[in-house]
Amino acid sequence: MNPEIKSYFPILNQEINGHPLVYLDSAATSQKPTPVIEALKEYYEFDNSNVHRGVHTLGNRATEKYEGAREKVQQFIKANSTQEIVFLRGTTTAINLVAQSYGRANVEEGDEIVITYMEHHSNIIPWQQLAKERGAVLKYIELEEDGTISLENVRAAITDRTKIVSMVYVSNVLGTMNPVKEVAKIAHEHGAVMMVDGAQAAPHLKIDVQDLDCDFFAFSGHKMVGPTGIGVLYGKKHLLEAMEPVEFGGEMIDFVGLYDSTWKELPWKFEGGTPIIAGAVGLAAAIDFLQDIGLDEIEKHEHHMAAMAMDKMSKIEGLDIYGPKDPAKRAGIVTFNLKEVHPHDVATVLDMSGIAVRAGHHCAQPLMKWLDVTATARASFYLYNDESDIDRLVEGLRSAKEYFSDVF
Amino acid sequence: MSFNNLDQLYRQVIMDHYKTPRNKGTLEQDSVNIEMNNPTCGDRIQLTLQVEDGIVKDAKFDGEGCSISMASASMMTQAVKGKDVDSALKMSEIFSDMMLGKEYDDSVDLGDIEALQGVSKFPARIKCATLAWKAMEKGVHEEEKS
């Protein structure tokens, strides 16, 4: 990875608590490069207007940029058509839309919804709610000892009663990369649809929704160097076409009568209200930025970072790393605990050294239960991290250990 | 590496409470049993109180969490034991002011609790320190209602 990449991220060039910032919390949200910040600034300074309605020039420009961003996303995930790209607030909103629209129309009493133990809360609760409402059964696919998913367990969980399978592509805790393509195939054999939570995948891997043959794919802009508040739901056209909107209002209508209304065609029927125009513009700039570097290059870099971090961190006595031991099976996420030091305390000590990591349950309480821990610390790497960041982390962890062994 | 700032947070007396917590466990004869979580980080506390005639006769806590949350729980149980309910609630109010970095009533002897003052400089950790006190407040109010 080009060492100059860091210089595109102005936020990284600062001191925190007297030390140069080392940002290792990209799985929570990524930092933003200058081209993305500039794209937002330019949009607001020159093009800002509402879309799809104004006859005036600015209205046209804003519409072109907004719909241009949709084309960019379509190409980025290799969707068949822009009609399959719905702009929403983020992954959470996208999963909720599928649960509330597709789910309510297709899941009946006694049907099954299948997820896994490594899901983020936002890929659990929408299904819990749907299952409760419809009298359906929510099933969890068991994990292997090393935090991976075996196709045997997938086959054991999915039956002809299964209507929806929803699975995270890359785990935000374990870093595990799941075989979603193979799972989609199994789901389809049983007549179920496959939803992929791509929040941690889209920033780091080349995505090809047609090759994965998933029915729905959701991701968020802010985890892939884009702005907060913009996300994408991909859905196969025939599925989206049959689905009812869940948000009603301006922008999504075709004709409004006194007692009945009709909807616009895809994808706009799902985009009620003034859309997230600037967010989409920022997301398009983010995609350009990532593609200029190359997603293959980014993925390679992250495997390299994960491998190096695991190697160096495992030399610290009393440090446990969760998830697959084989770096090839995981993305740039390393979740760990330091013996006898609570992860909050670890995170505070690291923060005092200018190092930002996440501590807590990472919005994955069922997984924490499976790991038999109440909380963990997590370092997540992205394209702007390098070996020196890992060295700082390791040094910080050693100091934390030393500090707490002194007070004990 | 020097950690002068950290020493303000992890005072000796805090680490002492963390290492050897006072009043750890659950009361067999409790009048109040409260469980509280800190949903952002997974800290969990179970607090049992024995309240009689407006006096907190006994208090015990159990749970999981970081040094600050567990030490604070230990100190809280120590502080409220034997106090009347109003004094316990008053102390909680003082503690809350202290955490928010506000001026607080210093006429009350806070004992070990004073050591937690440094937490106010670490905004992300304030919720860790206040968890046990929130549980106590909730417990006392529930007891009053019943």
Q: For residue A100, what are its two tokens?
A: 């509330």
Minimum distance, in Å, between the CA of residue B11 and any CA atom of chain A = 9
Q: For residue A182, what are its two tokens?
A: 């193979």
Mean pLDDT of chain A: 95
Judged by CB atoms closer than 8 Å, whether chains meet at A374 and B10 is answered as no
pLDDT of residue A408: 54
Q: Which conformational region is residue A109 in: left (phi greater than 0), alpha (psi within -120 to 50 degrees), or beta? A: beta
A157: contact with B, CB 8 A cutoff: no
pLDDT of residue A162: 98
Minimum distance, in Å, between the CA of residue A389 and any CA atom of chain B = 17
Q: Using a CB-CB distance cutoff of 8 angstroms, which residues of chain A are in contact with residue B12?
A: 407
Closest CA to A59 of A262, A274, A284, A287: A274
Catalytic-residue membership of A363: yes
Which residue from A344, A352, A408 is facing B6, i.e. has the nearest CB? A352
Which residue from B1, B67, B125 is facing A399, i.e. has the nearest CB? B1
- Asked if B61 contacts B33 with a C-beta cutoff of 8 angstroms, the reply is no
A261: contact with B, CB 8 A cutoff: no
Give helix B126-145 / helix B67-80 axis angle, nearest 10°.
Answer: 40
| Catalytic entry in A137, A352, A363, A373 | A363
Count of CB atoms situated within 10 Å of the CB of A388:
12
A408: contact with B, CB 8 A cutoff: yes
Asked if pLDDT for residue B31 goes beyond 80, the answer is yes
Judged by CB atoms closer than 8 Å, whether chains meet at B64 and A368 is answered as no
pLDDT of residue B142: 87
pLDDT of residue B41: 73
Q: For residue A324, what are its two tokens?
A: 């697959």
- Asked if A232 contacts A86 with a C-beta cutoff of 8 angstroms, the reply is yes
Minimum distance, in Å, between the CA of residue B48 and any CA atom of chain A = 21
pLDDT of residue A184: 98
Distance CA A164, CA A195 (A): 7
Judged by CB atoms closer than 8 Å, whether chains meet at A344 and B68 is answered as yes
pLDDT digits (tens, 9 = 90+) for B97-126: 999 999 988 888 888 999 999 999 898 899
Distance CA A378, CA B23 (A): 32
Q: Using a CB-CB distance cutoff of 8 angstroms, which residues of chain A are in contact with residue B10?
A: 345, 403, 407
Share of chain B above pLDDT 90, in %: 68
- Asked if A336 contacts A321 with a C-beta cutoff of 8 angstroms, the reply is yes
Minimum distance, in Å, between the CA of residue A372 and any CA atom of chain B = 12
A391: contact with B, CB 8 A cutoff: no
Closest CA to A166 of A201, A118, A101, A220: A118
pLDDT category, B2, cuts 50, 70, 90? low
A343: contact with B, CB 8 A cutoff: yes
Judged by CB atoms closer than 8 Å, whether chains meet at B125 and A348 is answered as yes
Interface mutation vs chain A, best among B12, B19, B41, B64, most A CBs within 10 Å: B41
Which residue from B9, B10, B41 is facing A360, i.e. has the nearest CB? B41
Judged by CB atoms closer than 8 Å, whether chains meet at A360 and B42 is answered as yes
Distance CA A197, CA A53 (A): 33
A15: contact with B, CB 8 A cutoff: no
A344: contact with B, CB 8 A cutoff: yes
pLDDT category, B3, cuts 50, 70, 90? confident
pLDDT of residue A340: 85
Q: What stretches in chain A show pLDDT beneath 70?
A: 406-408
Count of CB atoms situated within 10 Å of the CB of B28:
9
> What DSSP assignment string belongs to B82-134?
T-BHHHHHHHHHHHHHHHTT-----SS--GGGGGGGGGGG-GGGHHHHHHHHH
Q: Which residue of A has its CA nearest to B38?
A: A360
Judged by CB atoms closer than 8 Å, whether chains meet at B10 and A359 is answered as no
SS3 label, residue A218? strand
* Surface-to-core class of residue A129, CB atoms within 10 Å of its CB (0-12 exposed, 13-18 middle, 19+ buried): middle
pLDDT digits (tens, 9 = 90+) for A270-324: 999 999 999 999 999 999 999 999 999 999 999 999 999 999 999 999 999 999 9
How far are the Cα atoms of A402, B7, B34 from residue A406, in angstroms, in the given order? 6, 11, 34
pLDDT digits (tens, 9 = 90+) for A71-117: 999 999 999 999 999 999 999 999 999 999 999 999 999 999 999 99
Q: Which residue of A has its CA nearest to B4?
A: A352
**Chain B residues within 8 A (CB-CB) of chain A?**
1, 3, 5-6, 9-10, 12, 15, 19, 40-44, 64-69, 122, 124-125, 128
Judged by CB atoms closer than 8 Å, whether chains meet at A374 and B43 is answered as yes
Q: Which residue of B has its CA nearest to A358?
A: B41
In angstroms and rounded to an integer, the radius of gyration of the C-alpha atoms of chain B is 15
- Count of CB contacts below 8 A, A vs B? 58
Q: Using a CB-CB distance cutoff of 8 angstroms, which residues of chain B are in contact with residue A353?
A: 1
Mean pLDDT of chain B: 91
A352: contact with B, CB 8 A cutoff: yes
Which residue from A343, A365, A403 is facing B6, i.e. has the nearest CB? A403
